Amino acid sequence: MTMQVVERKPQPVRTARQAMALAQAAAQEERWQDALDAYDLASRLASREPAGDAARADALRGSGIVRLAMGDWVRASLDFGASMNLAVYLRDPGRIGRAENALGGLEFERGDWDAAVRHYAAAREQATEAEDAHLLAQIENNEGTLWAARGEPERAEACFRRAIAHFERMDEHPCAGRAYNNLGLALFAQRRLPEAVLAYDRALAECKKRGDATLAAKILINRARLSLAREEPLHAHAAAMTAWAFARKLEDGPVAAGAMCLLGEIARAFQDWSAANHYLQRALRFSARGKAPFMEAETWVHIGELNRDRGSLDNAFDAWSNAGRCYTALGAMAPADRVRERIEAAHAEMQPIPLRVSA
């Protein structure tokens, strides 16, 4: 007796919330175009529903978050702005705060860090009014990221620990993995390497619960850089290649650029100048022209180091100068100062030692 297999047809999507659930599932699997299509359907369905403005605001914000992941700053900004307008019309402080937070993230990624600070401050005000603990935790995490990028790891660490404390008090905390990863970065910047390892381990554990491949790639990149700092280049290379396997689908943007830049650093550790140049140029291609401004600055720093290793100091100075301009444009003054110190030190090394005549 044979059993007949009956294929179940997918249930039709009838409401905006159903469409958003599909969009969120697609985004989780990094099926970006499917996610955008589902959010567009959610927005259209919401416009036909009674009191559908709230759902439409959420759908537009979700679409903007997907576009942000794809590096499409212009259309992400349009989606976030439309979501903000609806939230203001609804006089909904929670949704206004989430739109402000999203706009802060957008401005951070494309390099207008002063605008990001203003959006985060507005988001905090709205989240406090709405008594939205989850949003307050996200804002703490995002502000910490900004302070870390500006070269203030102690201030960043305080933000990340506050975010984690918020998340730990919640039953569901999908952003906790990001906060732990960012805490690891702040600890690494302070050379507290054993603590950073523990933070990355916790981040990976949270990431596995959520199945977030993009975040996993970022954590692996950071773990690999930590291994490199501990003079463990083989471990660093293995982690970097795994990260690149995750990041390959993201051909443009911070994750792919970070993986390539790290592989360039590792090749430098092995004194494989040709491979290092290949990886760093790819990192530059993935990050330049506004795709990932901070990662572009970091890549120029490493290109300068590579040229110094190869004895080409003029090219090293040019690369470091490019890095300094990128950092200064971002408002990252501490990293910009470090680049200037690097240039001054290299110039000092070039000065001839005067001859001494014995009496």
* Number of domains forming the structure of the chain: 3
Residues in the chain, overall count: 359
Based on the fold, state whether residues 174 and 244 are members of the same structural domain: no
- Looking at the fold, whether 202 and 287 belong to one and the same domain comes out as no
Q: Both 276 and 338 in a single domain?
A: yes
- Give CA separation, 277 vs 92, 129, 165, 261, 273, in Å: 51, 51, 42, 10, 6
Is residue 214 domain-shared with residue 253, that is, in the same domain? no
Residue 11: predicted pLDDT: 63
Q: Is residue 4 part of a domain?
A: no
How far is the C-alpha of 88 from the C-alpha of 103, rounded, in Å? Answer: 15
Please say which residue of 223, 247, 274 terminates a domain. Answer: 223
- What tokens does 79 get? 């989606």
181 within a domain of the structure (yes/no): yes
What pLDDT score was predicted for residue 188? Answer: 93
Q: Tell whether 114 is covered by a domain.
A: yes
Cβ(113)–Cβ(331) below 8 Å: yes
| Residues 151-183 pLDDT 10s | 899 999 999 999 998 888 876 666 788 899 999
- 26 and 117 in a common domain: yes
Contact 68, 105 (CB under 8 A): yes
Examine the domain organization and report whether 196 and 296 are in the same domain. no
Do 237 and 338 belong to one domain? yes
> What domain range is 152 assigned to?
132-223
Single out the residue in 189, 223, 257 at which a domain terminates. Answer: 223
Instruction: Decide: 235 and 272 in contact? Cβ < 8 Å.
Output: no
CATH of the domain at 150: 1.25.40.10
In a domain, 83, yes or no: yes
Q: Are residues 25 and 100 in the same domain?
A: yes
Last residue in a domain, options 128, 149, 165 = 128
Task: Assess if residue 163 is contained within a domain.
Answer: yes
Kindly give the interhelix angle for 293-309 and 313-330, rounded to the nearest 10 degrees: 160
- Report yes or no on 8 lying in a domain: no
Domain presence at residue 333:
yes
Residue 201 lies in a domain: yes
CA–CA separation, 145 vs 157, rounded Å?
9
| pLDDT, tens digit (0-9, with 9 covering 90-100), for 246-272 | 777 655 567 788 888 988 988 888 899
Euclidean distance between CA atoms 183 and 258, whole angstroms: 18
Answer yes or no: do 148 and 112 share one domain.
Answer: no
Q: What confidence tens digit (pLDDT) does each residue in 181-240 have?
A: 999 999 999 999 999 999 999 998 888 887 777 788 888 888 888 988 888 888 888 888
